[in-house]
A and B are shown apart, each in its own frame.
Chain A
Amino acid sequence: MRRVLAVALREYKAAVKTKAFIASLVLMPLLLASSAGLQKVVDAAETQKTLTHAVVDRTGSLRPALEAATERHNAIEVYNVETRARESPFYRLEFVAPSANTRDAILAQRLELSRRHDTGELDGFLEIGPDVFEVVPPGSLPSDPHDLRFQSDRLGARDFARWARRAVDDAVQVRRLADRQISPEVVRTLQTPVPLRMKPTTKRNPATGAIEDGSDESRAAAVFLPAVLAILMFVMVLLGAVPAMQTLVEEKQQRIAEVLLGCVSPFKLMLGKLIGVVAVSATVASVYLGGGYAVASSYGIAGALTPSIFAWFAVFMVLAALVYGSLFMAVGAAASDMKETQSLQTPVMMAMSMPLLLLGAVLRDPGGKIAVVGSFVPFSAPMLMTARLAAPAGVPWWQPALAAAGVLVTALTCVWAASRVFRVGLLMQGKSVSFADLAKWIARG
Chain B
Amino acid sequence: MGAVEIREVTKRFGAQLAVNALSLEVPEGSIYGFIGPNGSGKTTTLRMIMRILPPDTGTVRVLGTDALGSVDDRVAYLPEERGLYKQMTVSDVLEYYAALKGMRRSDARGEITGWLDRLGLAAHAHKRISALSKGMSQKVQFIATVVARPSLVLLDEPFSGLDPVNAVVLREAILKLRKTATVIFSTHDMTAAEELCDFVFMIHRGRKVLDGTLEQIKSAYGSDTLRVRLEAAHPSSLAGLTGVSEVTDLGNLQELRLGPEGRPDEVLAELMRRGSVRHFEVARPSLQEIFVRIARPEIANEHGEHGEHGHHA
Partner of A254, one of B47, B78, B82, B144: B82
* B189–chain A nearest beta-carbon distance, Å: 20
Partner of B75, one of A7, A255, A262: A262
Asked if B99 is at the interface of the complex by the 8 Å CB criterion, the answer is: yes
User: Which residue of chain B lies nearest to A251 when distances are taken between CB atoms in the complex?
Assistant: B85
Asked if B71 and A258 sit within 8 Å, CB to CB, the answer is no
* B157–chain A nearest beta-carbon distance, Å: 11
Could you say which residues of chain B place their CB within 8 Å of the CB of A258? 47, 52, 77, 79, 83
Could you say which residues of chain A place their CB within 8 Å of the CB of B50? 261-262
Total contacts A-B at CB 8 Å: 65
Partner of B100, one of A3, A18, A255: A3
Asked if A261 and B52 sit within 8 Å, CB to CB, the answer is yes
Cα–Cα, bound, A10→B100 (Å): 11
Asked if B71 and A265 sit within 8 Å, CB to CB, the answer is yes
Could you say which residues of chain A place their CB within 8 Å of the CB of B87? 14, 18
Cα–Cα, bound, A2→B70 (Å): 16
Interface size class for chain A? 20 to 34
Give the dominant DSSP class at B's interface: loop
A:4-31 near B, CB below 8 Å:
6-7, 10, 14, 18
B:68-82 near A, CB below 8 Å:
69-71, 73, 75-82
Asked if A262 and B85 sit within 8 Å, CB to CB, the answer is no
Asked if B144 and A259 sit within 8 Å, CB to CB, the answer is yes
Most chain B beta-carbon neighbours within 10 Å: one of A10, A263, A427: A263
Could you say which residues of chain A place their CB within 8 Å of the CB of B76? 262
Asked if B97 is at the interface of the complex by the 8 Å CB criterion, the answer is: yes
Query: With A259-B144, A262-B71 known to touch, is A6 a contact of B99 (CB < 8 Å)?
Result: yes
Could you say which residues of chain A place their CB within 8 Å of the CB of B86? 250, 254
A233-272 Cβ-contact flags toward B at 8 Å (1 or 0): 0000000000000000010001110111111110000000
Asked if A2 and B83 sit within 8 Å, CB to CB, the answer is no
Asked if B77 and A262 sit within 8 Å, CB to CB, the answer is yes
Cα–Cα, bound, A2→B83 (Å): 22
Partner of A264, one of B85, B100, B145: B100
User: Which residue of chain A lies nearest to B141 when distances are taken between CB atoms in the complex?
Assistant: A259
Could you say which residues of chain A place their CB within 8 Å of the CB of B280? none
B:130-188 near A, CB below 8 Å:
144-145
Cα–Cα, bound, A110→B113 (Å): 92
Could you say which residues of chain B place their CB within 8 Å of the CB of A265? 69-71
Asked if A264 and B144 sit within 8 Å, CB to CB, the answer is no
Cα–Cα, bound, A265→B96 (Å): 16
Asked if B102 is at the interface of the complex by the 8 Å CB criterion, the answer is: yes
User: Which residue of chain A lies nearest to B52 when distances are taken between CB atoms in the complex?
Assistant: A261
Asked if A256 and B52 sit within 8 Å, CB to CB, the answer is no
Query: With A262-B52, A264-B71, A265-B69 known to touch, is A10 a contact of B96 (CB < 8 Å)?
Result: yes
Cα–Cα, bound, A360→B87 (Å): 41
List residues of A whose CB falls within 8 A of some B CB: 2-3, 6-7, 10, 14, 18, 250, 254-256, 258-265, 427
Can you identify 14 A-B contacts, CB atoms within 8 angstroms? A3-B99, A3-B100, A14-B85, A18-B87, A255-B80, A256-B82, A256-B85, A258-B47, A258-B79, A262-B75, A263-B97, A265-B69, A265-B70, A427-B53
